[in-house]
Structure 1
Amino acid sequence: MTIYGLIDCNSFYCSCQRAFEPRLKRLPVVVLSNNDGCAIARTKEAKNLGIKMGDPWHIVREQRKLSSVQWYSSNYPLYADMSRRVYQVLLEHVPRVEPYSIDEMFLDLTGLPGILSERCEAMRTAVEQTTKIPTCIGWGPTKAIAKLANYIAKDRPEMEGLCDLSDEHVRSRFYRNLPVSEVWGIGRRLAARLDDTGIRTIAQFVNAPPALIRKVAAIIGVRLQAELRGESCLQLSEIAEQRKGLACTRSFGRPVTSYNDMSEAVTGFAVRAAEKLRAEKLDAAHVSVFIQTNRHKRDEGWYANQASLTCSPTSNTLALTAISMRLLRTIWKDGFRYAKAGVMLNDLAPVGTQNTLFNIPSEQDTALMEAMDTVNRRFGRGALRPLSTGIERSWKPRQNMLSPRFTTEWQEIMEVKTL
């Protein structure tokens, strides 16, 4: 029988901070969104203090009971690299790993020798020893069941981080008491529609007539029902689906009022988007640029606009920045306090597949981009970039509590001193 597992990193962003600062081990830790806006990750200790997902930092930070909380700005380069390290550890223990998100990965546990619970515990131990990231693992005959098992392992301390739902009788006991909203793929709206038909638990969902499920939840619901019955409909994939689009957007640390500042920001977004394209060996044939003011401060004046252009397929930084600047000029208006902007790339395809006789990239351009990427990989992102991205960049998002990028920047790597 095929067995799928799902491993989930506990409070991942916070755990990444704790991995390099042992003093945080038992302290409440919260990681904030862009611009240090609101809570997006919390440790158990922070949750016990009443901090909720999405709580705005500028309000909750004044509460006396939260004086012990350690606040951090989002450090995405660090989190992405720690996720990669978890992935590498898992590959040493199972034949296939499918990343589902930055902190969740599906595992192929089929046919592993020995007792499966012991193998999974060994994986958790290896991940924590190597990366200092605590995890939970759930497993079962389908991906939907594995996802549910992982939820149970995380939700119930008595499970000690492991949950086995490979046995039908064990699943049935849990199904009777768990709400259908806990099923992977059933969101708030679908759960409400199911509730209207009297389906409130997973057991009721599994035992409902397939025709009713199809009527309420379409083919997605039918597949989920089959998965929860133990019939695998979602296969494990080691190759991620090709992107259909790519975006680089940011909210600014302060309102942007000058065209020069906005052009620096948009150029920077185009540079980053081009780097992502080349990393995935893709070209883009459609570019969009948008700018907007703060939707919550319409008394300051509301303006939002977007411009797009179809172009020859490219991942060349200079070409994409030139197009982005051309688009920005068509939508810019003086007199507004802009809060957010972005560059979006669409019509993506593998490098070279969209080329024609009239748009074959020159060897010189290709070599230039390879040299730029090599320098930035060695000395850190942004070490070599167009001057038009700016130097001071006062518009950058607020990151007043940013920790070092311990694993991705030579200047910020931890130092060990011997006595």
Structure 2
Amino acid sequence: AKALKIPDLQPYFKIKPLLARHRVHVFSSNYELYADLSSRVVAVLEEFAPQLEVYSIDESFLCLDGLSVDWRAYGLQIKQRLWRDVRMPVCVGMGQTKTLAKLANHIAKKSAKLEGVCILHAVDDWHAVFKKLPVEKIWGVGRRLAKRLNRLDIYSVYDLKVANAKHIRRQFGVTLERTVAELNGERCISVDTQPINKKQIYSTRSFGQKVQQLSDLQQAISQYASTAAVKLRKQNSVVKTIVVFIQTSRFVDNAYSNTVTIALPYSTNDSCTIIAAAKQGVARLYRPGLAYAKAGIGLVEIDDATAIQLNFFNQYQSAKSLRLMAVVDQLNHQQQQIFFASSGIDPFWRMQRQMKSPSYTTSLEQIPVIKIT
């Protein structure tokens, strides 16, 4: 798809003929498989560094301070181990800072002669390459920020690297000033070995088929609320405020989209309480006669569960609720055993994943079988 220059987030039906013409294989999302493979990759990476930050499902930072090794050989060793143990092709970028490491990783992906490993050690030696790289290739510089930088004649990675840091701070703030420092080898962003709790948690999906009935919308929002609540409990947090939205397709004449914010009676991570509030929100937003294409919930006022403040009436999540949620999470740890009836049983609106690859590593029924004759 990248070779065909297909932009991100293109609807499948719009590019289906192009994909078929070029024999592009298409797969539906398989979140369970991706998460399992990601955990296997991280397990291998932990053997290579004393400090590791899991930045996302497909990206990690390793702090190699104190190691006396041949960096290129070390990078190749990481690649080879991941291919041998997980069959996962990766690129390795190394630098004195996280920003340089991210940039090195991008260069490693684009240059075949580097064999997937790029080391930005003597940064000044890379100025010729930096001049060819657009400024938006820098970690944290998106398209909007890039356009603002372009107006100051900052077009390339090199241009930002040699920019006046104080001037950048006045124009754009301390975050971009730190980026300039990091491009010059000054470490400003540390490797976070402990996962940072999310301040907001969203669970949204497009429907496999359009939904018209309020009861079906409430089933969907119940499932999404349950998913969000599980994530909330995993980071030992509670929520006080939720946001619910529903929308039709943007391309119909009577297009409709609306959002409602709901304050919960007290801070909680109880799925039952969150689901009940989410269903009320959908009922307030619902307009009969429309075909809805998407719905979602956001947990937007999140606090640490150990720092709950009681309200005027001393309302709080009960010990019984805490025990119930703990049991549900424990039973669902390996494979979902329990779900809330309000989510429905095999609902028609569930996202269709007809082209989903098998869950090779997480389902006994889908383990690959090799037949030797």
Q: Same fold (TM over 0.5)?
A: yes
Distance 2:133 2:22 in 1: 36
Q: Does 1:106 align with 2:56?
A: no
Deviations 1:273-309 (A, max 9, x none): 1111112211111122221222221x14534242412
- Counterpart CA distance in 2 for 1:310 and 1:116 is 52
User: 1:26 maps to which residue?
Assistant: none
1:219 to partner: Cα distance: 2.2
| Shift, 1:132, TM fit | 0.9
Q: How far is 1:72 from its partner?
A: 0.5
Say yes or no: does 1:72 pair with 2:27.
Answer: yes
Q: Is the 8 A contact 1:286 1:310 kept in 2?
A: yes
Change (3 A) 1:169 1:346: closer
Query: Would you say the 8 A contact 1:307–1:331 is kept in 2?
Result: no
**More moved, 55-64 vs 400-409:** 55-64
Distance 1:363 1:217, change over 3 A: closer
Letter in 1 for 2:338: L
Show the counterpart of 2:347. Answer: 393
Residues in 1 aligned to 2:220 and 2:42: alpha-carbon distance in whole angstroms: 33
Report the equivalent of 2:245: 290
Q: Is the 1:287–1:311 Cα contact (8 Å) retained in structure 2?
A: no
SS of equivalent residue, structure 1 residue 47: coil
How far residue 224 of structure 1 moved from its aligned partner, in angstroms, is: 1.4
Q: Which residue of 1 aligns with 2:109?
A: 154
Q: Which runs of no fewer than 5 residues in structure 1 stay unpaired?
A: 1-45
Q: What is the letter of the counterpart of residue 376 of structure 1?
A: N
Residue 291 (structure 2) pairs with residue 337 (structure 1): yes
Structural mapping, 1:53-202, within 5 Å: 53-63=8-18, 66=21, 68-202=23-157
Counting only pairs closer than 5 Å after superposition, residues 300-379 of structure 1 correspond to structure 2 as 300-354=254-308, 356=310, 358-378=314-334
RMSD between superposed Cα atoms in Å:
2.3
Structure 1 pair 64/405, CA: closer, same or farther in 2 (3 Å)?
A: closer
Sort the Cα spacing of 1:348 and 1:303 in 2 relative to 1 into closer, same or farther, 3 A. Answer: closer
Seq. identity, %: 32
For 1:261-300, list aligned pairs within 5 A: 261-297=216-252, 299-300=253-254
Match for 1:409 among 339, 358, 363?
363
Contact 1:307-1:330 at 8 Å conserved across structures = no
Cα distance in structure 2, aligned partners of 1:74 and 1:85: 19
Question: SS at the partner of 2:17?
Answer: coil
Please report how far the alpha carbon of residue 267 of structure 1 lies from its aligned counterpart in structure 2 after TM superposition: 1.0
Per-residue CA deviations over 1:124-180 (Å, capped at 9, x if unaligned) read 111111111111111111111111111111111111111111113423343343332
Gaps of 5+ in 2: none
Report the CA distance shift for 1:47/1:64 in structure 2 as closer, same or farther (over 3 A): closer
Give the distance between the partners of 2:142 and 2:20, measured in 1 at CA. Answer: 34
* 3-state SS of 1:93 partner: coil
Return the letter of the residue paired with 1:387.
A
What does the per-residue CA deviation read over 1:312-365, in whole Å, with 9 as the maximum and x for residues that have no partner?
111112222122222222222212111111121122122242153934543432
Gap change, CA 1:307 and 1:360, over 3 Å in 2:
closer
Q: What's the CA shift for 1:52?
A: 4.3
Q: Aligned AA for 1:315?
A: N
**What is the alpha-carbon distance in structure 1 between the residues aligned to residue 98 and residue 109 of structure 2?**
17
Task: Quote the Cα distance in structure 1 between the aligned partners of 2:242 and 2:10.
Answer: 34
Aligned 8 A contact 2:266 2:316 in 1 = no
For residue 392 of structure 1, report the CA deviation from its aligned partner.
Answer: 2.7
Q: TM-score scaled by structure 2?
A: 0.91
Residue of structure 2 equivalent to 1:33 = none
Q: 1:367 to 1:410 in 2, by over 3 A?
A: farther
Which whole-Å CA distance do the structure 2 matches of 1:321 and 1:165 have between them? 49
Deviates more, 1:356-365 or 1:322-331: 356-365
- The whole-number CA distance in structure 2 between the counterparts of 1:344 and 1:320 is 11
Structure 2 letter corresponding to 1:282: S
What secondary structure does 1:72 align onto? coil
